[in-house]
Amino acid sequence: YIYGHGLWHAYLNPMASSSSIAMATLALVVLLLLGSSSAQLSTSYYSSSCPDLFSTVSSVVQSAISKERRMGASLLRLFFHDCFVNGCDGSILLDDTSSFTGEKTANPNQNSVRGFDVVDDIKTAVEKVCPGVVSCADILAIAARDSVVTLGGQSWNVKLGRRDSTTASLSAANNNIPPPSSSLINLISKFSDQGLSTKDLVALSGAHTIGQARCITFRAHIYNDANIDSGFAKTRQSNCPSTAGSGDNNLAPLDLQTPTTFDNNYYKNLISTKGLLHSDQVLYNGDSTDSQVTAYSNSPGSFYSDFAAAMIKMGDISPLTGSSGEIRKNCRKIN
């Protein structure tokens, strides 16, 4: 406003020097550049350029989940693993090539992250209704929301306008995504690094009310940890041998009770010391997050609203906007 006012004053004042007009013009250009570089995401970003976007994505997501209920958790996880590595930019979707190493072979992702074919199907469907308009990064954000809704959770307004990265980072994927062996301090630190609070951490961890985990991710917890219900540990040990390399990919539900329904049973499980991962149970282990876990176990409504707010906040992590990045034609490779 100040720069703009100065510019108008310079032009309207016949006594203004050419140098003052030049300086005011430069100031306005700088201001405009600053404004474009910090473009904001918007819930109405595609309202005119792709009005059928939401119904198109929702249709594919619902179809995929009807074929395999677990897919909802997988699509939600894709968004999380994307946003925690250099922001929500679709970098996790890039395939390795002879000259490029992406994030799919990082320790948190290899043999674990899934749903890429469904993202391909969504992209194909979206390209039919509005070619070259919608980014793969935004598709991940919408698919995550639709997955939660399809499995019984609360909806939220997804902010859009992200563009796709032309790079990826294997090292950032290995370092930024907290492993299932994480302590509470480590989890708080990793989330803080992304601008997310401890409250966000506890809310977003509730995503583990759906989905499955591999034996290799919870073996140490069910055999070595003390903060676990003995009967629950034995149940999980029956399908997860103690020997490393044996049954590593055998699956168990993250929520024993309702693994394909988005509810607050995850928190009830933690209070019963039936969290599947070490990084789950540390949220209720005599520490600072116990009270929030208790609150969510008693009030599904507060969990749903806090989860939605935290998902929106996570979606704001370092998006590419304006002229940065690109709109990929194929989510697996740069244009």
Taking residue 211's Cβ as centre, other Cβ atoms within 10 Å add up to 22
CB proximity list for 157: less than 8 A, separation 6 or greater: 43, 312
Cα gap 45→145, rounded to integer Å: 16
CB atoms inside a 10 Å sphere around CB 321: 17
Question: Collapsing DSSP states into helix, strand and coil, what is residue 46?
Answer: coil
Query: Could you tell me the CA-to-CA distances from 129 to 41, 49, 126, 137 in Å, in that order?
Result: 22, 10, 5, 18
How many other C-beta atoms are found inside a 10 Å radius of the C-beta of residue 42?
12
Catalytic residue among 5, 81, 221, 278: 81
81 counts as catalytic: yes
How far apart CA 133 and CA 139 sit, in angstroms, is 11
Question: How far is 88 from 67, CA to CA, in rounded Å?
Answer: 27
**Which residues are tagged catalytic?**
81
